[in-house]
Amino acid sequence: MTANTPKTTPITDLLAPAAVILSMLTALYMVFIAVPNDAFQGPVQRIFYVHLAMWLPTFAAFGIVGVTSLLFLWKKDRKWDHIATGSAELGLLFCTLGLATGCIWAKPIWGTWWTWDPRLTLTLILWMIYAAYLLLRNLATDPNQGAVMAAILGVSGVVDLYLVNRAVYWWRGIHPAVVVTKEGDSGLTDPMMRITLMVCLLAFFLLFVWLLRLRIRTAYLEDQVDDLRNRVLVTGV
């Protein structure tokens, strides 16, 4: 039974959070103190570092969901399903935070919380797909079936991504966009800005990896509890 649990040696248990905390503190220091103000946007531009840092974990997570879903359908090994669930949940978390910080940044800079910019639309659709993925798991009448069905959705989501991407770009391409400015154009001219961005990306990616480890452990525990519960029920009769 316990052989299934990933080994959590005290060293990695201590090292991972330590690395996360250290890189986070460095990132905070860089964002708030070390980096110069943006010439056009002023202090609000500092949101940009943390906002951009959300997308690396988000897309990594959704990519992992696609790959592990496929592996799960193919190999039928619960291990892949645990990773897929964990990634979907974390991907949704980072996606939500990315959308939220993006809105908060857009309000002072673009003058609106939301525009139907293709990138925003695409992200919102992604968010809906993975929210549905998690809801499907919770509402499945049988957890094993839920895992298989969620895997189908996970694979479909990745397969569909290219089509969604084309569609929202064409959709916005035909109508004039409200704001033409792109986030990428905010111009990280100062080398310090680029270093800050790198540190932020690293910090949040480490956070993602650490949380994913924890979340996968939760999935293993859930599996064991279900297993034991069944055994208690069987022996109880």
Q: Which residues bind other proteins (CB under 8 A)?
A: 42-44, 46-47, 50-51, 54, 73-74, 93, 96-97, 100-101, 104-105, 107-108, 125, 128-129, 132, 135-136, 139-142, 145-146, 148-149, 151-153, 155-157, 159-160, 163-164, 166-168, 170-171, 174, 207, 211, 214-215, 217-218, 221-222, 224-225, 228-229, 231-232, 235-236
Distance CA 118, CA 130 (A): 18
- Cα distances (angstroms) measured from residue 35 to each of 18, 49, 76: 24, 11, 49
Inter-axis angle of helices 55-75 and 191-236, nearest 10: 40
Minimum CB distance to other proteins smaller for 54 or for 201: 54
Q: What angle do CA 231, 72, 59 make, to 5 degrees?
A: 120
Minimum CB distance to other proteins smaller for 107 or for 194: 107
Identify the residue whose tokens are 């839920």. Answer: 146
CB atoms within 10 A of CB 51: 21
The minimum distance between CB 208 and other proteins, in angstroms, equals 10
Minimum CB distance to other proteins smaller for 54 or for 197: 54
**What is the Cα 208 distance to its own chain's centre?**
8
The minimum distance between CB 148 and other proteins, in angstroms, equals 5
What's the full length of the chain, in residues?
Answer: 237
The minimum distance between CB 184 and other proteins, in angstroms, equals 18
The minimum distance between CB 34 and other proteins, in angstroms, equals 15
Answer for the pair 154, 84: CB distance below 8 angstroms, yes or no. Answer: yes
The minimum distance between CB 221 and other proteins, in angstroms, equals 4
Residue 174 bridge partners (DSSP): none
Residue whose C-alpha is closest to residue 3's, from 227, 233, 232, 235: 227
Minimum CB distance to other proteins smaller for 63 or for 146: 146
Distance CA 162, CA 153 (A): 15
The minimum distance between CB 51 and other proteins, in angstroms, equals 7
User: Both ends of the chain: CA-CA distance in Å?
Assistant: 22
The minimum distance between CB 139 and other proteins, in angstroms, equals 4
CB atoms within 10 A of CB 100: 12
Minimum CB distance to other proteins smaller for 108 or for 187: 108
Minimum CB distance to other proteins smaller for 120 or for 214: 214
Minimum CB distance to other proteins smaller for 103 or for 195: 103
